[in-house]
Chain A
Amino acid sequence: MTTSIQKPKVRHPGLVQNAIGLTRRDYEGTMSTLCAGCGHDSITAAIVRAFWELDIPPHKVAKLSGIGCSSKTPTYFLKEAHGFNSVHGRMPSIATGASAANRDLIMIGISGDGDSLSIGLGQFCHGMRRGINMLYVLENNGVYGLTKGQFSASADIGSKAKKGEANQNPPIDPVLLALSLGAGFVARSFSGDKEQLVPLLKAGLSHKGFAFIDVISPCVTFNDHEGSTKSYVHTREHTKEVIHTDFVPLRREIAVDYASGDVLDVAMHDGTRMRLRKIAPDYDPTDRDAVYAYLRARQKDREIATGLLYVDPAATEMHDVEKSVAAPLVSLPFDQLCPGKAALDAFMDSLA
């Protein structure tokens, strides 16, 4: 019988505490039941570190997912946060509702390429259009794991399945999709590059509106062989970081100095800052069209561009567009919601 496996509650006295007195262990969940070496587990570890470093109280977070290997992972981090493992491909609508009800929730959604790009493509697109205030992580391995190795919609043409069959259908690139649909924060990373991923996750959590990170996350069981374009080896060989992100918390200065002209500071709505170090010269991560064209060119060269590819520091979220009150709707007292007897009587008079 498969059940969840709790981690032992042993606390090492030497563990470092963050500003709210919690250790990294406090941001973990139950034991992962994914395959040993799964890229998703590295992402989970990066998420744990990002939340811990941001000093976020875990219970203020809502962690949401759909169905699939990636969607299992919210159980593996932030055990003191509410989790919602919804139905396949439909997490964005759950996120919309949860955010509508309580805009103070810090929301992270974990999805996969099957969940977001096939069965849930519509919800993924419309979630971005709506500007749900959340960090959306797509753990992208090009393959269906739980049903044992079918191609997903992110598989490249010619990429080979474990038994040798080559994919014939063109891939859907979630990054290009996010750019064209107006997401205000678009990044790509690799599960094997925690130094890149952790600052991206932190920046994404601090971004107002829809923050999207596509993380190439190799499937060690079904898609890590020669001929696959989502294997560890292929990903390492073909990723090209175009921009490096350092995340600067409130009132804390980073020590590293960069040559001027290559550095771009971006202020986040909560007062934190991102420092972007451009590796590709002339790259402007705030010019949506230029980013789109640049990424298309990299794609042609079979390069996987990574980093914080696009950011709109002035991005809005659903509640701005819908002009809802600043307080969470769940916190409004009933007398502010129900117009009462006198108003009903007057309404009835208008119908008499």
Chain B
Amino acid sequence: MSRVNDFALRIATVNGTGSASANGLLMQSIFRMGIPVCGKNVFPSNIQGLPTWYEIRVSQRGHLARTPRFDLVVAMNNATYGRDIAELQSGGWILYDSSWPLPSEIRRDDVNVLGIPLAKMCTDEFKDSRVRLLMKNIAYVGVLAALFEIPLAIIETLLEEQYGARKKALMESNHRAVRLGHDYATSHFTCPLPIRLAAMEASADRILIDGNTAAALGALYAGATVGAWYPITPATSVMDNFKALCAKYRQDPETGRNRYLIVQAEDELSAAGVVLGAGWAGARAFTPTSGPGISLMSEFIGLAYYAEVPGVFFDIQRTGPSTGMPTRTQQGDLLLTAYASHGDTKHIVLYPADPGECFTMAVQAFDLAERFQTPVFLVSDLDIGMNDWLCKRFEWDDAYTPDRGKVLDAGQLEKLKTFYRYLDVDGDGITARTLPGTHPKGAYFTRGSGHTRLGAYTEDPADYVDVMERIARKTASAAHAVPESVIMRKENARAGIVALGGTNPGIMEAVDLLADRGIPVDYLRVRGFPFPPDVEAFLNEHDINFVVEQNRDAQLRSLLLLETNVEKARLKSITDYGGFPLSADRVIRGVLEGLPTDDRIEVVA
């Protein structure tokens, strides 16, 4: 039985051996063939020598969630042979390096074993020992090209684009290695395999991009000038990309000097402080971090909330608690980001589901932060942030102007009798602010201690409550300013699914597959907090709402119970938090288990 453009493979290698370039080359080649594809990097928190995997899924139907079922495994790491072959589907293929004898654990009667002497071929072909090691990985790309029928011309074009004239020798080696693998496969195996690729037109208006690059691009386009950070996986590439983009787009053409300033701080506490200081002084400022960073920043986040200082915090979530699994994904910071810091605090949070939304929501985050004069979180995750996603091309409207909120300039202050920082003159809960250096009348004292609506220090209950109530009104009103939910309805839906962020591909696929089985479900994807009104309305429409999320304690479900009037019994939880991106299987299983018995009987029938 042949399957075209619908299979998954897993490549097991050792990190630090150049497998990332080989895997990227393969992924790009499939993308260039116009076939919907996704790649997931499953990597260790280590620099060299530990097992690492790369998973590629192609799907004619556009189902690009991670799947735990692999049709082909490239076993390049003898330390993980056993595990790798165990994950192979019955009837699948395993490729291994036959320069050495086949180890006993790799034998399985129900799979096809393809041995290629990659190390031996590369030793014969290349002189330098480092090149031999690297080209072994490029050679399996050649093998797979033959097995899946990827045109060599596509691979060669990509190599030329990557290395071109700059690194001619390296490009030559790559070419030779690809050919080496390709020739071996065509002369020793029946090519193509029954699982193979055929060119499509599905990626005409598509790009491959990771969410951290997209978020950095958003910060650039929003006009952020100050970035502060402390390196942390998986958020590091946000600032790396911002820096690279600024080097290209933010230099004064005459002087070569920078129209931005990036501070690599001593820790996340300091990074948060830099954001607050810059926001207070009128710059658009941000920090990219992950859960451990948000924990450390929480003191400053409370100050920003109470003293009403704008700032943007990108939380690229990883597996917690504590150090957790730094290179695995999770949605474990939902409660943390919604209420970060001591005392009564509640924050504006945006939940991108893909790199496209990382870009648009990053821009929105800066607008909301300045409009509401408060910290705003963009909560992404490792899977969105660090893996390449197939996305629609990003759009930009040159008519965009930043929403700087209520900031009084020198002229406005001159006309004012007296300025009071925390006095709500128009009743919307948002008070005007001034920037240091503007005008003598604009001076005020920013403090995290109790203050009155006139900005003075206080320990008076009524004065304190007055300001706290206004801030609560202000934050609540943001429910109408955050992006509305994305709702997909099916006729005669039996239940609703509610989720946010990076679980989207798994749920979209599950919704399709459930519909195939005659179980239509509605799906609402939350995109902002405080929840817009459409969330509660959706929950009340369904007797059963499956809240799908990637954490143990059903944090989104908790948030929904806290922040809406929905009955607890209407919310059923489907959680998956082991560190891998969500698969459709998990959602389907959860829905089937959670539906009333009569519905399930119908399914079986």
> What is the interface of chain A, defined by CB distance below 8 A to chain B?
1-4, 57-62, 74-75, 79-87, 90, 92-102, 104-105, 122-123, 125-126, 130, 318-319, 322-326, 329-330, 332, 334, 336-341, 343-345, 347-348, 351-352
Q: Given that A85-B445, A85-B446, A98-B278 are contacting pairs, would A339 and B220 also be in contact in the complex, using a CB cutoff of 8 Å?
A: yes
* B208 touches which of A74, A101, A329, A351 (Cβ 8 Å): A351
Give Cα A1 to B249, complex, Å.
Answer: 54
Q: Does B474 contact A (CB under 8 A)?
A: no
Q: Which residues of B contact A322 (CB under 8 A)?
A: 258, 261-262
Q: B278 contacts A340, CB within 8 Å?
A: no
Q: B274 contacts A96, CB within 8 Å?
A: yes
Q: Which residues of B contact A324 (CB under 8 A)?
A: 257-261
With both beta carbons as reference points, the residue of chain B lying nearest to A59 in the complex is identified as B440
* A122 touches which of B270, B278, B280 (Cβ 8 Å): B270
Query: Measured between C-beta atoms, what is the minimum distance from A73 to chain B in Å?
Result: 12
Count of chain B residues with a beta carbon within 8 Å of a chain A beta carbon: 78
Q: Which residues of A contact B448 (CB under 8 A)?
A: 85-87
Q: What string of 1s and 0s marks CB contacts (under 8 Å) between B214-246 and chain A?
A: 000100111101101000000000000000000
Q: Which residues of A contact B158 (CB under 8 A)?
A: none
Q: Given that A323-B258, A325-B258 are contacting pairs, would A351 and B209 also be in contact in the complex, using a CB cutoff of 8 Å?
A: yes
Q: What string of 1s and 0s marks CB contacts (under 8 Å) between B241-272 and chain A?
A: 00000000110100111111111011101111
With both beta carbons as reference points, the residue of chain A lying nearest to B220 in the complex is identified as A339
Query: Measured between C-beta atoms, what is the minimum distance from B244 to chain A in Å?
Result: 11
Give Cα A198 to B268, complex, Å.
Answer: 36
Q: Which residues of B contact A90 (CB under 8 A)?
A: 269-270, 273, 299-300
Q: Which residues of A contact B269 (CB under 8 A)?
A: 90, 93, 123
Q: Which residues of A contact B436 (CB under 8 A)?
A: 59, 61-62, 81-82, 98, 102, 105
Binding stretch for chain A, among B80-88, B394-402, B541-549: B394-402
Q: What string of 1s and 0s marks CB contacts (under 8 Å) between B279-290 and chain A?
A: 111110100000
Q: A340 contacts B207, CB within 8 Å?
A: no
Query: Measured between C-beta atoms, what is the minimum distance from A220 to chain B in Å?
Result: 22
Residue among B300, B396, B435 with max Cβ neighbours from chain A (10 Å): B396
With both beta carbons as reference points, the residue of chain A lying nearest to B393 in the complex is identified as A348
Q: Which residues of B contact A336 (CB under 8 A)?
A: 259
Q: B277 contacts A94, CB within 8 Å?
A: yes
With both beta carbons as reference points, the residue of chain B lying nearest to A102 in the complex is identified as B281
Q: Which residues of A contact B217 (CB under 8 A)?
A: 344, 347
Q: B438 contacts A59, CB within 8 Å?
A: yes
Q: B278 contacts A97, CB within 8 Å?
A: yes
Q: Which residues of A contact B207 (CB under 8 A)?
A: 348, 351-352
Query: Measured between C-beta atoms, what is the minimum distance from B389 to chain A in Å?
Result: 11
Residue among B228, B283, B300 with max Cβ neighbours from chain A (10 Å): B283
Q: Does B202 contact A (CB under 8 A)?
A: no
Q: What string of 1s and 0s marks CB contacts (under 8 Å) between B435-452 and chain A?
A: 111111111111111001
Binding stretch for chain A, among B37-45, B457-465, B554-562, B575-583: B457-465
Q: A84 contacts B396, CB within 8 Å?
A: no
Given contacts A84-B446, A100-B274, 13 further A-B contacts (CB under 8 A): A3-B460, A81-B436, A82-B443, A86-B448, A93-B270, A98-B278, A100-B225, A100-B263, A102-B435, A102-B437, A332-B225, A343-B249, A352-B207
Q: Does B303 contact A (CB under 8 A)?
A: yes
Give me 19 A-to-B residue pairs in the complex whose CB atoms sit less than 8 angstroms apart, sorted by A's number.
A82-B436, A82-B437, A84-B277, A87-B300, A92-B273, A93-B272, A94-B277, A98-B277, A101-B285, A122-B270, A123-B266, A337-B220, A338-B220, A338-B222, A339-B221, A341-B397, A343-B249, A344-B221, A344-B394
Q: Does B276 contact A (CB under 8 A)?
A: yes
Q: Given that A3-B456, A85-B448 are contacting pairs, would A97 and B393 also be in contact in the complex, using a CB cutoff of 8 Å?
A: no
Give Cα A284 to B582, complex, Å.
Answer: 67
Q: Given that A59-B439, A79-B443, A352-B207 are contacting pairs, would A330 and B281 also be in contact in the complex, using a CB cutoff of 8 Å?
A: yes
Q: What string of 1s and 0s marks CB contacts (under 8 Å) between B396-419 and chain A?
A: 111011100000000000000000
Q: A330 contacts B249, CB within 8 Å?
A: no
Q: Which residues of B contact A60 (CB under 8 A)?
A: 437
Give Cα A326 to B259, complex, Å.
Answer: 9
Q: B226 contacts A325, CB within 8 Å?
A: no
* A330 touches which of B266, B283, B300, B303 (Cβ 8 Å): B283
Q: A82 contacts B442, CB within 8 Å?
A: yes
Q: Given that A62-B437, A90-B300, A100-B263 are contacting pairs, would A329 and B459 also be in contact in the complex, using a CB cutoff of 8 Å?
A: no
Query: Measured between C-beta atoms, what is the minimum distance from A195 to chain B in Å?
Result: 30
Q: Does B69 contact A (CB under 8 A)?
A: no
Q: B270 contacts A3, CB within 8 Å?
A: no
Q: Does B206 contact A (CB under 8 A)?
A: yes
Query: Measured between C-beta atoms, what is the minimum distance from B295 to chain A in Å?
Result: 15
Q: Given that A98-B436, A339-B220, A348-B207 are contacting pairs, would A332 and B282 also be in contact in the complex, using a CB cutoff of 8 Å?
A: no
Q: Which residues of A contact B259 (CB under 8 A)?
A: 324-325, 329, 332, 336-337
Q: Given that A97-B228, A126-B265, A322-B261 are contacting pairs, would A80 and B443 also be in contact in the complex, using a CB cutoff of 8 Å?
A: yes
Q: A86 contacts B274, CB within 8 Å?
A: no
With both beta carbons as reference points, the residue of chain B lying nearest to A339 in the complex is identified as B249
Query: Measured between C-beta atoms, what is the minimum distance from A135 to chain B in Å?
Result: 15
Give Cα A348 to B393, complex, Å.
Answer: 6
Q: B437 contacts A59, CB within 8 Å?
A: yes
Q: Which residues of A contact B252 (CB under 8 A)?
A: 325
Q: Which residues of B contact A98 (CB under 8 A)?
A: 277-278, 280-281, 436
Query: Measured between C-beta atoms, what is the minimum distance from A308 to chain B in Å?
Result: 28
Q: Given that A60-B437, A100-B261, A337-B250 are contacting pairs, would A3 and B273 also be in contact in the complex, using a CB cutoff of 8 Å?
A: no
Query: Measured between C-beta atoms, what is the minimum distance from B239 to chain A in Å?
Result: 14
Q: Which residues of B contact A125 (CB under 8 A)?
A: 266
Q: A81 contacts B281, CB within 8 Å?
A: no
Q: B258 contacts A126, CB within 8 Å?
A: no
Give Cα A87 to B274, complex, Å.
Answer: 13
Q: Given that A3-B457, A59-B437 are contacting pairs, would A96 and B263 also be in contact in the complex, using a CB cutoff of 8 Å?
A: yes
With both beta carbons as reference points, the residue of chain A lying nearest to B282 in the complex is identified as A330
Q: Given that A2-B457, A123-B273, A126-B266 are contacting pairs, would A340 and B398 also be in contact in the complex, using a CB cutoff of 8 Å?
A: yes
Q: Does B275 contact A (CB under 8 A)?
A: yes
With both beta carbons as reference points, the residue of chain A lying nearest to B402 in the complex is identified as A334
Q: Which residues of A contact B440 (CB under 8 A)?
A: 57-59, 80
* A329 touches which of B228, B261, B457 (Cβ 8 Å): B261
Q: Which 4 A-B pairs have CB atoms at the shortest separation, nearest pair first?
A: A97-B277, A93-B273, A101-B283, A82-B436
Query: Measured between C-beta atoms, what is the minimum distance from B171 to chain A in Å?
Result: 19
Query: Measured between C-beta atoms, what is the minimum distance from B38 to chain A in Å?
Result: 15
With both beta carbons as reference points, the residue of chain A lying nearest to B448 in the complex is identified as A87
Q: Which residues of A contact B225 (CB under 8 A)?
A: 100-101, 329-330, 332, 337
Give Cα A94 to B438, complex, Å.
Answer: 18
Q: Which residues of A contact B299 (CB under 8 A)?
A: 87, 90
With both beta carbons as reference points, the residue of chain B lying nearest to A107 in the complex is identified as B436
Give Cα A321 to B259, complex, Å.
Answer: 14
Give Cα A99 to B436, complex, Å.
Answer: 11
Q: Which residues of A contact B273 (CB under 8 A)?
A: 86-87, 90, 92-94, 96-97, 123
Residue among B395, B436, B440, B458 with max Cβ neighbours from chain A (10 Å): B436
Q: Given that A1-B458, A85-B445, A97-B285 are contacting pairs, would A352 and B277 also be in contact in the complex, using a CB cutoff of 8 Å?
A: no
Q: What string of 1s and 0s marks CB contacts (under 8 Å) between B57-75 and chain A?
A: 0000000000000000000
Q: A326 contacts B263, CB within 8 Å?
A: no
Q: Which residues of A contact B276 (CB under 8 A)?
A: 86, 93-94, 97
Q: A123 contacts B446, CB within 8 Å?
A: no
Query: Measured between C-beta atoms, what is the minimum distance from B558 to chain A in Å?
Result: 28
With both beta carbons as reference points, the residue of chain A lying nearest to B444 in the complex is identified as A82
Query: Measured between C-beta atoms, what is the minimum distance from B418 to chain A in Å?
Result: 12
Give Cα A101 to B447, complex, Å.
Answer: 19
Give Cα A79 to B439, complex, Å.
Answer: 12
Q: Which residues of B contact A352 (CB under 8 A)?
A: 203, 206-207, 393
Q: Which residues of B contact A318 (CB under 8 A)?
A: 261
Give Cα A338 to B272, complex, Å.
Answer: 24
Give Cα A343 to B449, complex, Å.
Answer: 45
Q: Which residues of B contact A343 (CB under 8 A)?
A: 249
Q: Which residues of B contact A3 (CB under 8 A)?
A: 452, 456-460
